[in-house]
C-alpha cells in the first residue's frame, strides 16, 4: 500500500496530468548559467531566473558549463567564490557523481579573465558584481550580475579600507535612493 492509496484519486489520471504539465523541450538543455542555475530555469522571453521556490536576480544569462545533471544547480548565491551558487553547484555535483561528472562536464567559456582590459588566462572565480560589472563587496544587495575575474582584477578593489568604505557608502546611497 503506497501513500497515494490513501488518496481518493485515480493514478492513471495523475500520470496523464503529470505528462501534460511536464515541459520536455527545455529539459534537454544541460547548460548552466553563470548565475549558477540551469539555463532551462530562465524564462525564455524575460530571461528571469527561477531555479526553485525562490527567484534569482540574474540579469546576465550567460551559459558557462554543460553538465550531465542539472539538479545540483539550484543553490542560492551567498557571495562570491566559494559562496557562489555556481561554485557550490559544481561542488555538490562532483561530490554526488564523482568521476562521471568530471568526465562529462565541459566548460563553454575560455579560461580567461572577463575584465575587458585584462583578458589574462586564469582559473575561474565567480564574483558578484554590480550592474556596471564593478565588484560588490560583502553587501547583501544582489544585483544579478556575475563575472569571472582573475586574481589581480579581484584584488585591485581591495586597495584600501577607506576606498572600500567610500564605495560602500556610495552604493548604499544609490541603492536607497533607487528603491522608490
Which of residues 40 and 115 has its CB atom nearest to Zn ion in the complex?
115
Q: Which three cell numbers stand for residue 29?
A: 538543455
Which of residues 118 and 164 has its CB atom nearest to Zn ion in the complex?
118
Interface positions, 35-54, toward Zn ion (CB under 5 A): 35, 37, 49
Query: Among residues 113, 129, 145, 147, which is the contact residue for Zn ion, using CB under 5 A?
Result: 113
Contact present, 42 and 57 (Cβ < 8 Å)? no
Q: What minimum distance in Å lies between the beta carbon of 75 and Zn ion?
A: 10
Q: What minimum distance in Å lies between the beta carbon of 93 and Zn ion?
A: 16
Query: Among residues 67, 74, 86, 150, which is the contact residue for Zn ion, using CB under 5 A?
Result: 150
Q: Which three cell numbers stand for residue 60?
A: 546576465
What is the DSSP track for 124-170? --EEEE-TTSPBP-S-S---SEEEE--HHHHHGGGS-HHHHHHHHHH
Which of residues 56 and 105 has its CB atom nearest to Zn ion in the complex?
56
Phi and psi, residue 63, nearest 5° = -65, 130
Q: Does 143 bind Zn ion (CB under 5 A)?
A: no
Instruction: Output the CA angle 45-51-52, nearest 5 degrees.
Output: 125
- Residue 158 CA, chain-centre distance (Å), reads 24
Q: What is the dihedral of CA 122, 125, 131, 134, to 10 degrees?
A: -70
End-to-end CA distance of the chain: 55
- Give me the 69-108 binding string for Zn ion, x by CB under 5 A, dash otherwise: ----------------------------------------
Q: Does 115 bind Zn ion (CB under 5 A)?
A: yes
Q: Does 136 bind Zn ion (CB under 5 A)?
A: no
Which of residues 97 and 112 has its CB atom nearest to Zn ion in the complex?
112
CB atoms within 10 A of CB 76: 15
Q: What minimum distance in Å lies between the beta carbon of 81 and Zn ion?
A: 15
Which of residues 105 and 150 has its CB atom nearest to Zn ion in the complex?
150
Binding site for Zn ion (CB under 5 A): 33, 35, 37, 49, 56, 58, 113, 115, 118, 120, 150, 153
Amino acid at each position: 500500500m503506497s501513500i497515494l492509496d490513501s488518496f481518493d484519486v485515480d493514478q492513471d489520471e495523475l500520470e496523464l496530468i503529470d505528462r501534460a504539465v511536464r515541459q520536455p523541450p527545455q529539459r534537454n538543455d544541460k547548460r548552466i548559467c553563470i548565475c549558477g542555475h540551469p539555463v532551462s530555469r530562465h524564462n525564455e522571453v524575460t530571461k528571469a531566473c527561477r531555479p526553485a521556490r525562490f527567484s534569482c536576480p540574474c540579469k546576465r544569462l550567460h551559459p558557462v558549463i554543460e553538465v550531465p545533471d542539472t539538479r545540483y544547480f539550484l543553490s542560492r548565491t551567498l557571495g562570491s567564490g566559494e559562496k557562489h551558487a555556481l561554485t557550490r553547484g559544481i561542488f555538490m555535483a562532483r561530490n554526488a557523481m564523482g568521476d562521471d561528472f568530471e568526465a562529462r562536464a565541459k566548460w563553454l567559456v575560455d579560461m580567461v579573465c572577463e575584465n575587458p582590459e585584462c583578458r589574462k588566462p586564469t582559473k575561474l572565480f565567480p564574483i558578484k558584481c554590480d550592474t556596471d560589472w564593478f565588484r560588490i563587496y560583502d553587501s547583501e544587495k544582489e544585483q544579478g550580475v556575475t563575472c569571472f575575474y582573475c586574481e589581480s582584477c579581484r584584488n585591485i578593489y581591495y586597495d584600501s579600507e577607506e576606498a572600500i568604505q567610500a564605495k560602500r557608502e556610495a552604493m548604499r546611497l544609490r541603492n536607497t535612493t533607487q528603491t522608490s
